[in-house]
Amino acid sequence: MKVSLFTEIQCAREGSPKQRLDEFLEQAELADALDYRGFWIAEIHFQPRFSLLSAPYVVLGAASQRTRRLRLGVAVNTLPVHHPVQLAEQAAMLDLLSGGRMDFAAGGGHPHSRVYECFEVDHQRTHEIIEEGVKVIQAAWTEDVLTFDGRFFHIPEAVVNPKPVQKPHPPVYIAASSPEGVEVAARLGVNLFLPIHTRTREQVLALANSYWELIEKLGYDPAKRELGLLVPMHVAESAGEARRRAETGIMSYYETIGAMRSSYVEWLNRRGSPLPERLLKTATGTGLTFERVCEEHAIIGDSSSTLDALQELAKATRSAHILAWMNIGSVPHSFVLESMERFARDVLPRLAAESAG
């Protein structure tokens, strides 16, 4: 099993954006030294308390120069609000700067960040734009001269440069949280990421089963496809200590996303705009308790229970890649570093040994 890290880099009102970015870079350096596979960062606009990552490729460019083997990626590139050729250029440049360490993930992003309204994109066309956009990006990376004539994008003989170091192109993932998104990933024949933090275990299992069924039905080789899970995580000496250390920080994330969602709904109502369908499918909401988070949306415990929980998830969903979200919300930087170190010392070797077996 591959284990990478993930972050959205939240920053409270009283926090320092520079400090939070410096902490991320320190975490990336440590992840590189501890043999984590990669570090994925989000792309989120217009919500400073929720995320600093409006320009993720700038941040990953900095990380590429402070790491040597750690793979780097944006999870997710909010494809509907970009021209795919521009994203192909940015991602290929990161691949070049990092010596071939870039992974690529596309998705619809957070529907309640107001990014669709600002960039004048129709929520209803999210999945259609993503599907066509990924095709454009793959062609831009592999064709000497790109010509594309689709429903949304028309590209007349463009020389897209640079090309990625990885051939024929870097790994491609779709991040999805709905059956429609899973269908897009399967039709494209690419890898899939599913979120634990906003979906119940039952929902995640249903989406995973759907992906594998569609991959086989469409004639793709499941052995050459990968399912990954985004999982909030904290590891400490005991389960009780892990919960004490993580509770305030993790719940601050859910409180922030809840406030952002409520503000968005109120804003849409004032404008007389309908709620996006994707917004209505979010499993988490008001009244979510930390106990419920621990049961459904995160793995928080000691090394042994963390290993058991990961093995159970992997077996149920046939996942082979975990995106461990250890610096979620306002979990203190020092606790994040300790959790990373404990996981790398106690859990990673056992996962690697079982995979080899």
Domains of the chain: 2-356 (3.20.20.30)
CA distance 29 to 35: 10
Residue 191, both tokens: 């890898």
**CA distance to 86, 159, 163, 171, per residue, from 144 (Å):** 16, 6, 9, 19
Q: pTM here?
A: 0.95
> Which DSSP category does 80 fall into?
G
- The pLDDT assigned to 315 comes to 96
- The pLDDT assigned to 189 comes to 98
CA distance 134 to 3: 25
Using alpha carbons, select from 294, 310, 316, 306 the residue that is nearest to residue 346: 306
Residue 134, both tokens: 């990924």
Using alpha carbons, select from 217, 253, 222 the residue that is nearest to residue 326: 253
- The pLDDT assigned to 280 comes to 63
Residue 265, both tokens: 């709904």
Over the chain (357 residues), the average pLDDT of each successive run of 10 is 96 90 98 98 93 97 98 97 98 98 96 91 94 98 98 97 97 96 98 95 97 98 98 98 98 93 91 79 69 96 98 96 97 98 97 76
- The pLDDT assigned to 254 comes to 94
